[in-house]
Amino acid sequence: MHGEVGLASMRSGMDRSTGRKYLRVRKLPSELRRPRTWRTRPDPFAEDWPEIEARLAEAPELEGLALFEDLMNRRPGRYQEGQIRTFQRRVKDWRARNGPEKEVFFPQNHRPGEALQTDFTHASELGVTIQGQPFPHLLCHVVAPYSNWQWATACHSESMLALRRGVQAALFQLGRVPEFHQTDNSTAATHDLATGKRGFNEAYLALMRYFGMTPRTTGIGEKEQNGDVESANGALKRRLKQHLFLRGNRDFESVEAYEAWMQEVCARANERRRVKVAAELAVMRHLSVRAFPDYDEVMVRVSQESAIRIKRNSYSVPTRLIGEQVRVRVFELHLEVWHGQQQVLRLDRLLGEYRHYIDYRHVIHSLLRKPGAFARYRHREDLFLSLTWRKAYEVLVEHEGNRRGEVSYLRLLHRAGMGMESEVEAVLALLLEAGKVPTPEQVKALVGDMEPTRAPEMAAPEVDLHEYDALLGAGLQEAI
């Protein structure tokens, strides 16, 4: 220590006299500051503030913006827009000192293995596509609150089918069953759909009984009671976004491929929580039941339009089933059509209501026999497979007339159904680009006859059974 006040003051960035003052009073600069008790400018709201306070006391939910706008209307020319922030701060200060009591949220300690929480969250923001097509979807997200173990499945809606599929997928991944299963007040899980009353519906209760879990729900309007899964929704989507960036693209071959990738991301995250997960598994019951059917089954008759109607949507089926009664298994993401004991068709399920999916392969043979029906066919737009096919139809009609052009277009669809649709579309694009009319004859010449591909014939290998005797003999000698 040099003991010089001047040198110490200079090093501290202050004048020598200021340094002597602090040494004399033996207080820090912060201890010498006194709170200001006077205003630096007149209060612009002093005259009207008692009235504002009275209105806030009567209706505390009034917002500062609404009060200020009302004040400007009642006192024209007295107040300016630039004063709104000052007014809002005054209202905020009044609420802090005189406003109503606010609700307190109490953090909870979770017990290991006690419950699973399930919630649905929109995931279209991820920008996932399936074979280049947008995939609007939700995630059924299941979380164990103690360890934050999580699992997710893709779905179209907050339906009972989606909930059933998501919950049991998580249970079979865990291999254990907790005591409780908790949801918010989603319609599929908690409402009695027949009467509209609050309470669990029978389908959900049956699922809980099957797995031996006790259902519980949050209070109405109290979504924070499902807070762990609610907060985990955002964390999961952020993690998926980051892994999509690492993957390099957002397109997947199928919904199943996308779901498998997503669950792999979840599994890697769960691995980092293995200590707490082990504590949960240690107190959960072993899962001792088979998978609960994650589909609804309905019996429908195929109409004369060669279509079935499922949940207010229409789907085409092969014409040989017209008039037949088929059994349809309705999954969350797809349908299975069964005739007798054999599955004859698998279809992607349509999202929404009053929509239709017509596969041209199902109706093209009938349309070729009745080409006049094409012009006013109710589902005609479904037969334009892409913009390329639409342009091909327009060129054919322009050069051959309506009737002949429509027949030619139907023949092109027939050829696509016989072989590779992608090859026919590629030829159509080449012909259109060259300015040529894509007639069926030209397409056939470029594509070929498109005979169905046959499996190569292979001769059955000859097996010498004596080699197995030699192996068995060697094994017996070693045992002896």
Delimit the domains of the chain by residue range.
1-29, 49-97, 115-286, 296-357, 361-447
Distance CA 145, CA 117 (A): 7
Amino acid 450: pLDDT: 45
Backbone φ and ψ for 459, nearest 5 degrees, come out as: -75, 140
DSSP 95-164: HHHHSPPPPP----PPPTTSEEEEEEEE-GGG--EETTEE---EEEEEEETTTTEEEEEEESSS-HHHHH
Residue 134 corresponds to which tokens in the numbers above?
Answer: 């947008």
**CA angle 302-306-309, nearest 5°?**
55
Q: pLDDT tens digits, residue range 101-115?
A: 877 655 666 788 899
Tell me the β-bridge partners of 315.
308, 357
Amino acid 221: pLDDT: 46
Amino acid 471: pLDDT: 67
Whether the CB-CB separation of 188 and 207 falls below 8 Å is answered with no
Distance CA 171, CA 8 (A): 70
Distance CA 478, CA 480 (A): 5
Query: How many CB atoms within 10 Å of residue 451?
Result: 8
Residue 162 corresponds to which tokens in the numbers above?
Answer: 């989606």
Tell me the β-bridge partners of 356.
314
Given a cut of 70, the residues of the chain with pLDDT beneath it are: 1-3, 6, 28-32, 34, 36-40, 104-109, 185-198, 218-228, 448-456, 463, 465-466, 468-480
Amino acid 196: pLDDT: 54
Query: How many CB atoms within 10 Å of residue 206?
Result: 12
Amino acid 220: pLDDT: 46
Instruction: Report helix angle 255-271 to 274-283, nearest 10.
Output: 90
Amino acid 284: pLDDT: 93
Amino acid 392: pLDDT: 92
Residue 273 corresponds to which tokens in the numbers above?
Answer: 């929580």
Amino acid 11: pLDDT: 74
Whether the CB-CB separation of 194 and 186 falls below 8 Å is answered with no
Q: How many alpha carbons fall within 13 Å on the CB side of residue 390?
A: 7
Tell me the β-bridge partners of 424.
none
Classify 326 as helix, strand or coil: strand
Amino acid 62: pLDDT: 87
115-286 is classed CATH 3.30.300.30: no
